[in-house]
Amino acid sequence: MPMLFPSSHAANLLRLRNGDVLCAWFSGSQEGESDVAIVVSRLPHGSKQWSKPIIVDHQPGKSYQNPVPFQAPDGRLWIFHTEQDAGAGQANAHVLYVTSKDNGKTWTAPKVLFDKPGAFTRQPLVVVSKYKWILPMYYTPSRGITKGADSNYSVIEMTSDAGEMWKECEIPESDGLVQPSVVDENSHYVAFFRSRYADFVYRSTSEDGCKWTAPVASALPNNNASIQVAKLKDGDLVIAFNNVNASDKKGKPQTAPRVPLSVALSKDEGKSWSFVRDVETQYPDFAKQFSGLSDKPGREEYSYPSVMQMPNGQIGVAYTYRRRTIKFVEFDESWIQQGSTTGKFKGN
């Protein structure tokens, strides 16, 4: 993507009804600083060139993160995102929203949506009907993603009146499991979680979107970094994730490298994953370049993927590229099925 600022992170894709695709992320000097803004780039229908990003929201002294765009049934665009005091960590974050009535050309001033301390967004909203929406969320009572992060937990915010009122549904036994990515399987819902323990991707199900089963570990590794799942037109699920972990069992919150970045396919609602292929693998000098999870642009990191089926039927993935910019790639299902991985999960 074209760059506005030195550092970029946490992309999310959105397909508009007119065939355009939006990509939203946060960008500034460094995550957590007061110059970090929410920006949006557009891929016009039929084009292969993304537009120069525009700033959607920014306020001096605040740091913005994790934008989640969606288009409501009435055509209005929304972006949810977090806000926290610059340099203060995540424990007192809350969620704002902005809207657009002209397909994202102009945006309203931000308003507070959820003000409970530590409220965080990351994954796409699920539109069930004209008025019923499901917004996956999580809370971060800890300042960061390791020390004390076993206190983090996931919830679902539900509205039955197109966002006027919200009901919070806590996901049981989700301590240390965050950023639920929810897919609608018609008669029920399935959610997949990032693990603060850097062990596995976890999975949970719900019949109504509010009452959820306790998450259980899947076969996919997780490195305490974001994943995302999407349902394809043929019913298969595709997941984008970092195919590496630090542990094969829950211990203390920790991290692992954010590489390789891989994609996998499931034909049974994420119970198993039959095919996996790497999108980005490490450079030969990876060991020298990787020095933990600092936020300095240029580190060896391919992370926070967003995945969706594009208007042309291809699978599109946008992700953080070395903290400098957002990279976008697209391919079809057969490309995944013909591939291989250098990561931990080898398929069934």
Q: Is residue 348 part of a domain?
A: no
Q: Is residue 2 part of a domain?
A: no
Give the pLDDT of residue 37: 95
Low-confidence ranges of the chain (pLDDT < 70): 283-298, 347-348
pLDDT tens track for 278-288:
999 975 454 44
Q: Is residue 346 part of a domain?
A: no
Q: Is residue 1 part of a domain?
A: no
Name the pairing type of β-strands 94-100 and 77-85: antiparallel
Domain count, the chain: 1
Q: Is residue 294 part of a domain?
A: yes
Measured from the Cβ of residue 77, the count of other Cβ atoms closer than 10 Å reads: 22
Q: Write the CB contacts of 272 (distance below 8 Å, at least 6 apart in sequence).
A: 219, 266, 348
Give the pLDDT of residue 172: 98
Point out which residues pair with 321 in neighbouring strands.
Answer: 302, 325
Q: Is residue 117 part of a domain?
A: yes
Domain carrying residue 129? 7-337
Name the pairing type of β-strands 111-114 and 167-170: unpaired
The secondary structure of residue 185, as a DSSP letter, is -
Token pair 């931990």 in the structure block, residue: 344
Give the pLDDT of residue 282: 75
Supply the CATH number for residue 272's domain. Answer: 2.120.10.10
Name the pairing type of β-strands 216-221 and 200-206: antiparallel
Give the pLDDT of residue 290: 45
For 296-347, the DSSP string reads -TTSS-EEEEEEEE-TTS-EEEEEEETTTEEEEEEE-HHHHHT---SSS---
* CA–CA separation, 271 and 226 (whole Å): 19
Residue type, 236: D
* CA–CA separation, 100 and 105 (whole Å): 7
Q: Is residue 342 part of a domain?
A: no
Classify 151 as helix, strand or coil: helix
Q: Is residue 109 part of a domain?
A: yes
Which residue intervals of 63-142 are DSSP H helices?
none
pLDDT tens track for 22-34:
999 999 988 878 8
Query: By 3-state DSSP, what share of the chain in percent is helix, strand and coil, each rounded to 5?
Result: 5, 45, 55
pTM to 2 decimal places: 0.95
